[in-house]
Structure 1
């Protein structure tokens, strides 16, 4: 993508009078020579995978290969139907779908890495919740996914989306920022508002470490996906209400990257520190891999 920053992305969209999603498709077509229609259809196929991975874990108990996680999305789905949710149907549905994708991923099912497999539940949960709770149509969902992709590309160019390099703030944080941008666009927000939502997400996920139990993308990853989509929804609501981020999106990305570089190796996907280094974490790891 010939855009190197969030501010450039906003400027290009405002100059052309188009959304981030529309800009992303045009740029992709221009750079690759692939037709607009073909690019659209590829994202449509990705959306089908998202729909499948979010629904599977909610409708049936999906257990990971290791046995560390599984069945939580199914529990959330039942809880949603009972109508007793403290946070309402939007938050409960979003968490259920995020958990579902994570469980499908850990059971070797098919998911969309957006931007990574470890953070695969956040964006799908956001768009499917928008579809079911707010009646957002397929066209706007697909455009929202392209907006998320454009923002993810900016993050990847200027920082990292790798937990091994920047901690979970780079994975679940980036995914939540992408999801927030998609939600704001789907709800009629401007490109500037989209990136304000992404900035707010990053401000609340800075410093989040990557500390997977036994080095597997399961615990605490699945539940961080569930909380990540809530962060996206909250940030979207704030900017749609007129709240602005005092710190620009590009600055929050820079901060995330600098914090990631400062993190010790034990807190960057090695399965050594943080929760992985606790007594319970070590016991779970031994249960999976045996005594060392």
Structure 2
């Protein structure tokens, strides 16, 4: 079983761009492709299935930017990302994008053909939500690479001797996958193989290529990984004689998951909280970006707040302001934390940071609240999804609401049971949320849905603090939520082919952007731009 990490799967990555499923995930795919080829490729062919989400959103939601940035070796918060087209041109990379039937089962499937210095490879990769990825095949060989190990791929027609060498000389897991008449040995290890080991491998008879891939995730995996619990019910059993708060249980979980100390896990979250707070302040100072359908809304909202012209509700209005500020930073290519995704990056931090200020919480108490939220996110990542392409917007903003509700209870001094109840209530209120971004920009109705998620979190936190009965346990709510998400029609799961995205006003906005050169039209009528 895959064990989610607070910092791999839930709170993070730190990134620029409108979509973690597109910008951050494609950048991570690009980084692994770069390692596979030993540097930036000379030529790239990127293909998407016409029935998936990428065919419509590849350019507008930043997947092209991320993939090309990754091929150049950049990270997800690199300030050069908005200027990637010029950098790719200067690097001499020739690239094409095609929409063809690739028989993809997942809506975010990339088929990438790469060439460099006369060598060619083909990669099949998935974006699975929140910036997480999986490479599922290389040159037809099925495998599984998520970026949480040092990976060494050895192409050989003598796999037995290669595996014997690995077992005798390298402390790592090895698995075999067949590709035609040869075999690809995949070595997963917690540290890079030494130069001596690589040289010895290269000297083995039948070895034709060795391809080391570096990890792309902040928290590594390892052999025989174990965690103390994977559901809320197991958490309660684990805590029966410990009486720990939700944030303390989060530290226990992540220390076991990441093989790090509780202090290291704390510091990682403290760093992320600082980035979230900086994003609020950046947004409140005003943002600007050409490829954007909403102007700066937070400035006017703040002005009306200060003039007393809004309906009274200081905390509620502060939450709206902070959510808006963070979402505007995202849309202006500023640095944000995907929590749990970039599309829902405003809901959780906006709700928690505004509530923390209203309650006079310390920085330490704010970090505790985000740790509590992260652990709720672990259960969601393990048993549902953060990908709107798979589960609709309930997977993103809905999840953010459940996480934020638990965090607010933590801030207010509520009990562990009340935090779990708040998360259950907030998730119950989120079932059926569709993902229908206007003009394929992650701005509208995304902003409103982030605000709705954050205010839902506040309401449900107060309901839980007043001991409202959620009736359905959190674990069962998560399973039901996932089932509902999978039942949402494909057109309403981030394809740009349904809901508000197909209204006459939305199509007019889309055409205006096309006229301004922000997007282009493919031969299939799907909108994206190929440079």
TM-score class, shorter: over 0.9
Displacement after TM superposition at 1:274 (Å):
0.6
Q: 1:104 and 2:326 equivalent?
A: no
Q: Deviations over 1:159-199 (max 9, x none)?
A: 11111110000100000100000000111111211111111
1:2-81 to 2 correspondences below 5 Å = 2=227, 3-58=229-284, 60-81=285-306
Listed one character per residue, the Cα deviations across residues 221-265 of structure 1 (whole Å, up to 9, x for unaligned) are 112111111000000011111212012212221121111111111
Contact 1:64 1:104 in 2 (8 A): no
**Once superposed, which parts of structure 1, at least 4 consecutive aligned residues long, lie more than 3 Å away?**
none
Which 10-residue stretch deviates more, 82-91 or 245-254?
82-91
Counterpart pick for 1:151 among 360, 376, 388:
376
Inter-partner Cα distance in structure 1 for 2:295 and 2:245: 38
CA contact (8 A) 1:105 1:117 kept: yes
Equivalent residue number for residue 236 of structure 1: 461
Larger Rg: 2
Name the structure 1 match of 2:388. 163
CA deviation after TM superposition for structure 1 residue 99, in Å: 0.9
Q: Distance in 2 between matches of 1:64 and 1:13?
A: 48
Unmatched segments (≥5 aa) in structure 2: 4-226, 522-531
**Correspondences of 1:60-209 after superposition (within 5 Å):** 60-209=285-434
CA contact (8 A) 1:9 1:20 kept: no
Q: Indicate how the Cα distance of structure 1 residues 122 and 13 shifts in structure 2: closer, same or farther if over 3 A, else same.
A: farther
Worse-matched range after superposition: 69-78 or 266-275: 69-78
Q: TM-score, normalised by structure 1?
A: 0.95
Partner of 1:287: 512
Q: Secondary structure at the match of 1:38?
A: helix
CA RMSD, Structure 1 to Structure 2 (Å): 1.5
Counterparts of 1:224 and 1:123 in 2: how far apart (Å)? 12
Q: What displacement does 1:64 show?
A: 4.2
Go from structure 1 to structure 2 and tell me whether the alpha carbon gap of 1:10 and 1:86 turns closer, same or farther (over 3 Å shift).
farther
Q: Does 1:275 align with 2:504?
A: no
Alignment match, 2:28 = none
The question of whether the paired residues in 1 share the 8 Å contact of 2:283 and 2:298 is answered with yes
- Counterpart residue number, 1:246: 471
Query: Secondary structure of the equivalent of 2:471?
Result: coil
Q: Distance in 2 between matches of 1:272 and 1:164?
A: 12
Q: Give the count of matched residue pairs.
A: 291
In the alignment, the residues of structure 2 paired with residue 54 and residue 64 of structure 1 have an alpha-carbon distance, to the nearest angstrom, of 17
**Matches of 1:10 and 1:101 in 2, distance apart?**
34
Q: 2:424–2:473: 8 Å Cα contact kept in structure 1?
A: yes
Contact kept, 8 Å, 1:144 with 1:182, in 2: the verdict is yes
Give the Å deviation of 1:87. Answer: 4.3
Determine if contact 1:20/1:147 at 8 Å carries over to the other structure. Answer: yes
Q: TM-score, normalised by structure 2?
A: 0.53
Conserved? CA contact 1:65–1:106, under 8 Å:
no
Paired with 1:279 and 1:15, the residues of 2 have a C-alpha distance of: 59
Report the more deviating stretch, 108-117 or 122-131: 122-131
Distance 1:230 1:87 in 2: 15
Cα 1:15–1:216 change in 2 (3 A) is farther
Q: CA deviation at 1:83?
A: 2.7
- Aligned-partner Cα distance in 1 for 2:429–2:289: 29
Q: CA deviation at 1:283?
A: 1.1
User: Deviation at 1:57?
Assistant: 1.7
> 1:104·1:111 contact (CA, 8 Å) conserved in 2?
yes
CA distance in 2, matches of 1:87, 1:176: 23
Instruction: Please say if residues 213 and 276 of structure 1, whose CA atoms lie closer than 8 Å, have aligned partners that are also in contact.
Output: yes
Which one has a larger percent helix, Structure 1 or Structure 2? 1
